[in-house]
Chains A and B, each alone.
Chain A
């Protein structure tokens, strides 16, 4: 009977508990917004001591508000049985951290000597605050996305919003050494968010450390956002009225059937990403010659920046002249390391997860065999068609690019390197065209065959679900296989003993067509705005922007504002995908009320 009473109590207070819980998150969200603006002001402008005192007071207030809010939430959590234990623990951890911080900054703190190590209190509280607000927002984002909003609109708008935010942050006085126009900062922000790497400013000279960190953040969001968004959009799809078919697509994307698995896939993705970037940064740190930097910190920042930039296929560099710098381009090992980061970023997470499963099973089988003498457990078709396709095509394209660039540029753009460096630089260039965009070679003097090859490779781009752009390797392979099988007279498109669904073919068709039309249209506009440029340069630039590669023949800085806007749009469309871009602005309908008789069309 006692439990019954307890249950009754819980039930009767359910309404109030929910209401209080909502209010608490409301308070946290609004505090977050205010905190954000103040924080931007704090970062962006130099403060005098009077303002500094106000800010300190403000931060302390926020600290207390948050502590109270989280204390309340933790109390509510005790009674809430539906909530996931992980989330409860997270809430509790945050509360502990906040209490610890209050302890830390109290006048008679026992941890006072810690503070002497830290240069400023801001270095500690701003990451903690940012983390808290990020968690809170992403939690609410899930419920926000669950509403019946056009998911593609959200995708596009979030890109635009982040770009504008980035542009504004880069316009802050503390971010730059010289005054940049709004178009330039927006262009830079777009280039970073869309992980393109085209830039109209010199990151190493025009941006302060703060500006560079902002760029880095934008790259990371851009690289991560696309993937999480892919999962979130998948999340959307698993609502009530989804077809079985779409569920299958989603399953393919996240390799899982349940919503929880999609979320866990997102966690996996983020952790894989951080792991690879960390390892990459470590390698770069050791491979780059230390005497190039004033301090170890600079070297470290360089390593982190390039690791993230490479993994996210952004292609931005915070070094003067980028990797083309005379002290960097003769470092084959550094270039190789970067190449692998680019390839890993570009190969896509679905395939990574797929291989993760494969390796896990293999190890498990080994383990069982050796220890328990069990038979091998064979899971059929574990490496799915997509993964196979991606692996083959990526391999072929990398090899083609490598050999092609090596052969065509042996005595031209690769003239200054010795044989092994030539091999390394050719390999690096082959990877960077898809679609990272670091320039080691001088792209303004390349031979025409290389030019065509690079444009083609940029257009094809990376693999789906990765950080790279382009029309994607799968699209390209479906395109080629389609005309090949039609010419052979096959009635279906068969790849690797699997029939490719008509929906996939049509989608690939739409992607190819749209990419060509967008690029063509942009070339037209750029030629109109900047008639002084040659056709080659404009075409190269447009392909580079659409594929979010970021290679250039050196015309980006001289573009007129009109062309810059065109390129920005092109980068955005290339990033979110032409189909998603159009879908964002039209009403989507999944219902086919009528089915018409079939009709073949004459060509």
Chain B
């Protein structure tokens, strides 16, 4: 008995000690990976010859050995901590193995076989690994941020701000562009990518090198993931404002599971994002099989870039004239893949997740049936009120768009397509303003009413929890419902057998009014700098920027630097959300123990 006690105290002491060690190691890893990333950026951004290639390689190898060594140490110490999730340990173990493998491959000079290929092109394999480690370390520390009582609004704003800044610096590197780029254009492109908007002032295919395009790709991916995860987080913060009792009644928060599983949710989001993007990339790869790329890498990169761009609702295209490039304009299967991807990205993560669970379940069932002759096991429908609202709104909006655009564009911008092409073009054109930003029709030739309609659709935007922008479909639908209710003289706004909370209505109101106020302000500012442009073009551009859509009537390139800066601000404000932005400055958690008498206002 005594022996056991002493063992326990010894273990506890060891645990405190190992905790300290682990923390030290974590800091060392974080610091080292930041250094490595900086070196990497220098390596890629400034060196056009492989003058010092050997030196850099030696540096990387030493880092890899450093990581492998110190990481293993950490791994061992981690064993004393039962409370750490197993998944995390497994992930770290896999990282270690990958690093060890990389070390092995990089240090042995072979002249043939696939290892030689690796030896030659090691950056393509090693750098993603570094970036993975980088984000892993960052996110671990970010997680401790969340645990602290930091205002999530400030965090979101900061994250996007830092990302945009880093992206700007990255795009300004000499190796990112062929002929250099102005500061404001770099900023604009970076913000556009991080805010997954897709407005461009410099042609992505023509201006940026492969490296620059990779940076854009990364920025889009990070922006997209950031939006999805933050939306979930903020949503939970918001949802936790309700009392425990109410939670028990509702049971359904943002993703249909318990509040504590924030991190789990984030993993899920990332996993599903990569999965969908991989499948999308495969689809694009197949549909662009006949295109004359320089080499296979370019083809793969093209596929990945567009898959990410589409799923994140960014709208960056690696072709001159965007999707109007002669190759792409009639490649309907490519367009379909893109459309499906951006709809998936925009429909909202809860919906995608429900879809994913159903598909997973189906595959598992089929597998069981074939191999174990087991009966089908059905999954209950997991869609909550929010998801159902998202699906219905998206459906109604898309159908309305299709009808409207068919009316005005069938014989206008869609006239030169075949019938099948027209159908695909119609579908694509109807879905893209919310808020993907790819255009398969010539935006400079669309009818005036279509432009107006596009503005409405851009404003409504995609569903929450997805990668799209705008005020969100849920906001719009409950605001319409509210109007209908007031007109009917009803007291409460009910939907699918639930009463919409007053807080939700207030937020919807704030979101809508702020969006209008800010878009008015931005239009005003842009117009004062670029009064020579037609107002409709400016308004369209501002709507597109603020709602993170990325469609343009063709005047993005003509703006003055001041206007570009304002549009960047608009994209930023639209992305982080105006209410979030405002509350980042104003938010003060306070509790009043008194209530004022209620008062009706006359209107």
Interface residues of A (CB under 8 A from B): 245, 248-249, 252-253, 350, 385-386, 389, 448-449, 452, 456, 464-465, 471-472, 474-475, 478-480, 482-484, 486-495, 497-514, 516, 520, 523-525, 527-528, 531, 534-536, 539, 578-579, 582-583, 586-590, 592, 595-603
| Chain B residue with the shortest CB-CB distance to A514 | B483
Instruction: Please determine whether B483 and A488 come into contact, CB atoms closer than 8 angstroms.
Output: no
Cross-chain pairs A/B with CB under 8 angstroms, 24 sampled = A385-B601, A452-B524, A484-B586, A487-B585, A487-B587, A489-B590, A492-B595, A501-B600, A505-B506, A505-B509, A523-B452, A524-B453, A527-B452, A534-B535, A579-B483, A586-B488, A589-B490, A592-B492, A596-B497, A598-B250, A599-B504, A600-B239, A600-B250, A600-B503
Which of B46-54, B173-181, B526-534 lies at the binding interface?
B526-534
Instruction: Please determine whether B235 and A602 come into contact, CB atoms closer than 8 angstroms.
Output: yes
| Chain B residue with the shortest CB-CB distance to A509 | B509
B468-495, CB < 8 A from A: 471-472, 474-475, 478-480, 482-495
Instruction: Please determine whether A527 and B601 come into contact, CB atoms closer than 8 angstroms.
Output: no
Given contacts A245-B600, A487-B586, A505-B509, contact A603 B475 (CB under 8 A): yes
Residues of A within 8 A of B589 (CB): 489
Nearest first, the 7 A-B pairs at minimum CB distance are A483-B510, A599-B498, A487-B582, A498-B599, A535-B536, A582-B487, A510-B483
**How far apart are the CA atoms of A510 and B480 in the complex, in Å?**
8
Q: Could you tell me how many residues of chain B have their Cβ less than 8 Å away from some Cβ of chain A?
A: 91
Interface string of B206-240 (1 = CB under 8 A from A): 00000000000000000000000001000100110
Instruction: Please determine whether A516 and B596 come into contact, CB atoms closer than 8 angstroms.
Output: no
Given contacts A494-B596, A498-B599, contact A506 B250 (CB under 8 A): no
Given contacts A501-B598, A600-B504, contact A509 B479 (CB under 8 A): yes
Q: A253-B602, A539-B535 are in contact. List 16 more A-B contacts (CB 8 A).
A: A248-B600, A486-B579, A487-B586, A488-B583, A489-B586, A500-B598, A503-B600, A508-B603, A509-B479, A513-B479, A578-B483, A596-B494, A597-B499, A599-B504, A600-B504, A603-B464
Residues of B within 8 A of A536 (CB): 535
Residues of A within 8 A of B497 (CB): 596
B592 beta carbon closer than 8 Å to chain A: yes
| Chain A residue with the shortest CB-CB distance to B581 | A487
B147 beta carbon closer than 8 Å to chain A: no
**How far apart are the CA atoms of A579 and B488 in the complex, in Å?**
9
Instruction: Please determine whether B506 and A482 come into contact, CB atoms closer than 8 angstroms.
Output: yes
Instruction: Please determine whether A483 and B474 come into contact, CB atoms closer than 8 angstroms.
Output: no
Residues of B within 8 A of A492 (CB): 595-596
In the complex, which of the residues A248, A534, A582 contacts B483, with contact meaning CB atoms closer than 8 Å? Answer: A582
In the complex, which of the residues B448, B510, B527 contacts A482, with contact meaning CB atoms closer than 8 Å? Answer: B510
B542-589, CB < 8 A from A: 579, 582-583, 585-589
Residues of B within 8 A of A506 (CB): 482, 485-486, 493, 505, 509
Given contacts A489-B587, A534-B535, A587-B488, contact A502 B511 (CB under 8 A): no
**How far apart are the CA atoms of A514 and B501 in the complex, in Å?**
21
**How far apart are the CA atoms of A459 and B6 in the complex, in Å?**
78
Report the tally of A-B residue pairs with Cβ distances under 8 A. Answer: 250
B-side interface mostly: helix
**How far apart are the CA atoms of A587 and B490 in the complex, in Å?**
11
Instruction: Please determine whether A601 and B389 come into contact, CB atoms closer than 8 angstroms.
Output: yes
B149 beta carbon closer than 8 Å to chain A: no
**How far apart are the CA atoms of A248 and B254 in the complex, in Å?**
38
Instruction: Please determine whether A448 and B479 come into contact, CB atoms closer than 8 angstroms.
Output: no
Instruction: Please determine whether A592 and B491 come into contact, CB atoms closer than 8 angstroms.
Output: yes
Q: What distance in Å separates the Cβ of A194 from its nearest Cβ neighbour in chain B?
A: 18
**How far apart are the CA atoms of A483 and B586 in the complex, in Å?**
11
Residues of B within 8 A of A512 (CB): 509, 512-513
Residues of B within 8 A of A497 (CB): 596
**How far apart are the CA atoms of A523 and B524 in the complex, in Å?**
19
In the complex, which of the residues B246, B386, B490, B520 contacts A602, with contact meaning CB atoms closer than 8 Å? Answer: B386
Instruction: Please determine whether A448 and B250 come into contact, CB atoms closer than 8 angstroms.
Output: no
Instruction: Please determine whether A499 and B487 come into contact, CB atoms closer than 8 angstroms.
Output: no
Q: What distance in Å separates the Cβ of B332 from its nearest Cβ neighbour in chain A?
A: 29
Instruction: Please determine whether B520 and A503 come into contact, CB atoms closer than 8 angstroms.
Output: no
Given contacts A498-B597, A499-B599, contact A599 B487 (CB under 8 A): no
Q: What distance in Å separates the Cβ of B66 from its nearest Cβ neighbour in chain A?
A: 44
Instruction: Please determine whether A601 and B504 come into contact, CB atoms closer than 8 angstroms.
Output: yes
Instruction: Please determine whether A596 and B499 come into contact, CB atoms closer than 8 angstroms.
Output: yes
Q: What distance in Å separates the Cβ of B415 from its nearest Cβ neighbour in chain A?
A: 18
Given contacts A452-B520, A524-B449, A583-B488, contact A535 B534 (CB under 8 A): yes
Residues of B within 8 A of A504 (CB): 599-601, 603
| Chain B residue with the shortest CB-CB distance to A597 | B249
Given contacts A448-B524, A487-B587, contact A499 B491 (CB under 8 A): no
B242 beta carbon closer than 8 Å to chain A: yes
In the complex, which of the residues A482, A490, A502 contacts B513, with contact meaning CB atoms closer than 8 Å? Answer: A482
Instruction: Please determine whether B534 and A534 come into contact, CB atoms closer than 8 angstroms.
Output: yes
**How far apart are the CA atoms of A592 and B430 in the complex, in Å?**
38
Residues of B within 8 A of A527 (CB): 448-449, 452
Q: What distance in Å separates the Cβ of B490 from its nearest Cβ neighbour in chain A?
A: 7
Residues of B within 8 A of A253 (CB): 602
Instruction: Please determine whether A513 and B512 come into contact, CB atoms closer than 8 angstroms.
Output: yes
Q: What distance in Å separates the Cβ of A575 from its nearest Cβ neighbour in chain B?
A: 14
| Chain A residue with the shortest CB-CB distance to B527 | A448
Instruction: Please determine whether B502 and A508 come into contact, CB atoms closer than 8 angstroms.
Output: no
Residues of B within 8 A of A511 (CB): 603
Residues of B within 8 A of A495 (CB): 599
Instruction: Please determine whether B586 and A488 come into contact, CB atoms closer than 8 angstroms.
Output: yes
